[in-house]
A and B are shown apart, each in its own frame.
Chain A
């Protein structure tokens, strides 16, 4: 079974530039997550999709970050404009979890992440 694919693996940009990350989840997974992990910290949930609807985006800085999930499959996360404090690893994950259904008790599968450096 193919895992969660993310690209690019690394990205260096200057502050105020824009950047986009792409994620392809495991086939058939209804739920997709984007996390931001700053060095030495735990992953912080930015947005969680259920199919192409949003479960939670309370910690997504909406003035600069945006995310979409195309046809309930692939997803892109964009930052525009980037700040120095956005330097982090951006992790995408997916799971079978369905809201209100029996498959809530499932694990999330993570991609390798995109390491973003803003200079």
Chain B
């Protein structure tokens, strides 16, 4: 089964608006990562947040992590048509026999209209 679950499954916005995607997970993690996938291509890493961090920024990206609620959010500010893609959260498990395992959620499809 997948570790992370993204919400919403699909998001459609206008250029210039902000896009927020959420991720929930089940087990203890070492870190949480967000990836982007353009249609028909491999995944590209966007940002990583460690389990002892609460917020991180990278350009127009802002990620928050709430380990008590086992949830994270990705905010893309001032979105552009080029941001249209699928976004996935991934968690690196911190305990158990599969320590270091990297598992992905189902993703959010973001469409930004010009």
Shortest C-beta distance, B43 to chain A (Å), equals 5
Q: Which residues of A contact B100 (CB under 8 A)?
A: 31, 48, 50, 55, 97, 99, 104
CB distance from A111 to the nearest CB of B (A): 6
B50 close to A (CB within 8 Å):
yes
Known: A41-B106, A105-B48. 6 other contacts (CB 8 A): A42-B105, A56-B98, A91-B43, A97-B92, A97-B100, A105-B31
Cβ-defined contact, A48 with B102, below 8 A: yes
Q: B31 touching A42 by the CB < 8 A rule?
A: no
- Contact residue range for chain B? 20 to 34
Q: A110 to chain B: closest CB distance in Å? A: 4
Q: Tell whether, in the assembled complex, residue A42 and residue B107 are in contact, meaning their CB atoms are under 8 Å apart.
A: yes
A104 close to B31 (CB less than 8 A)? yes
Query: Which residue of A35, A58, A105, A113 is within 8 Å of B104 (Cβ)?
Result: A35
Whether B42 is near chain A, meaning CB under 8 Å from some CB there, is yes
Q: List 15 A-B contacts (CB under 8 A).
A: A42-B2, A42-B4, A42-B105, A42-B107, A43-B43, A43-B88, A45-B104, A55-B100, A55-B101, A58-B98, A105-B30, A108-B43, A110-B42, A110-B43, A113-B42
A interface bracket (residues with beta carbon within 8 Å of B): 20 to 34
A22 contacts chain B at the CB level, 8 A cutoff: no
Over the window 42-77 of chain A, the binary record of Cβ atoms lying under 8 Å from chain B Cβ atoms (1 yes, 0 no) is: 111100101000011010000000000000000000
- A107 at the B interface (CB under 8 A): yes
Interface string of A90-119 (1 = CB under 8 A from B): 010101010110001111111111000000
